[in-house]
Amino acid sequence: MGLGRIVCIANQKGGVGKTTTAVNLAACLAQRGYDTLIVDLDPQGSASSALGVVTSTGTTSTYEVIVQEAALASALVRMAPNDHLWLLPASRDLVGAEIELVPLVAREHRLSEALREVRERFAYILIDCPPSLGLLTLNGLTAADSVLIPVQCEYFALEGLSSLQRTIDLVRRRLNPALEVEGLLLTMFDTRNTLSHQVAQEVRRHFPGLVYATVIPRNVRLSEAPSHGQPIIAYDPASKGALAYQQFCDEFLAPKPTPAKSLAAQVERRE
């Protein structure tokens, strides 16, 4: 099953649900039998710890792979009991990568090149980006077939999406012309909050055709699961959060009518 679609989960805002989406979408895909790899590209290592993987300095991790060219295959961790879920963990060493990458040859292509050797082994590779538009995120976008953008349903949700859009357009011009926008996922939606409804409406108006119908609700079980080192479908499979990520997985897997190429193109069409 070597489709090897690489999806970069990015938004330079912190706390919008990137890691939660990476871990839980990956777990849903793996549960359905798709060999799935999560690449933890955040020095905070939240995706790794959400899966119960503790790294220390010296563990072969994303840092060794992209900075020191360690073999990626040797760094992969299998997430028992699910045979189909794998992780490339991050350690604190990755903090230095933003600076250490600067003088290196093909500095934006390091992850892309490293993934080449394992791509065929996986159906999906999900990259969990840090909350910045620095070299790590550029590596994620350069390696990816598409970018998935979680958007938190709160005030200022749209703020920052224009600089993300500029970065995506820059990557398409200079580094990865084939990069598509996978879609925007509304997260932490609060049904009882008028603001949540307004924000969701506004995001859909700005990005017609790019926002998933599935909305991830604010759900306390989703925020508890990482401290148990489990994805939500293992921690509480009947919770609203688990059902929402399963539904999102259905939508993610459904064939798309027209591949969305660029946020800008969509916006221009509307104007």
d(Cα 244, Cα 129) in Å, to the nearest integer? Answer: 22
Residues 9-28 that bind ligand ADP (CB under 6 A): 14-20
Q: Tally Cβ neighbours within 10 Å of residue 259.
A: 10
Which CB, 9 or 28, lies closer to Mg ion? 9
Measure Cα distances from 53 to 162, 188, 247, 253 in Å.
Answer: 34, 25, 26, 27
Q: Which residue has the tokens 């349903």?
A: 153
Q: Of 26-34, 75-83, 85-93, 212-220, which segment contacts ligand ADP by CB under 6 A?
A: 212-220
Which CB, 85 or 118, lies closer to ligand ADP? 85
Q: Of 99-107, 138-146, 200-208, 220-228, which segment contacts ligand ADP by CB under 6 A?
A: 220-228
Q: Find which of ligand ADP, Mg ion, none residue 60 binds, CB within 5 to 8 Å per kind.
A: none
Three-state helix/strand/coil letters over 110-131: HHHHHHHCCHHHCCEEEEECCC
18 lies in the site for Mg ion, by CB under 5 A: yes
Which CB, 40 or 180, lies closer to ligand ADP? 40
Q: Give the dihedral sign, CA 101/176/86/131.
A: positive
Binding residues for ligand ADP, rule CB under 6 A, total 18
User: 213: helix, coil or strand?
Assistant: strand
Sites of contact with Mg ion (CB under 5 A): 18-19, 46
Sites of contact with ligand ADP (CB under 6 A): 14-20, 46, 131, 187-188, 216, 218-219, 222-223, 226, 241
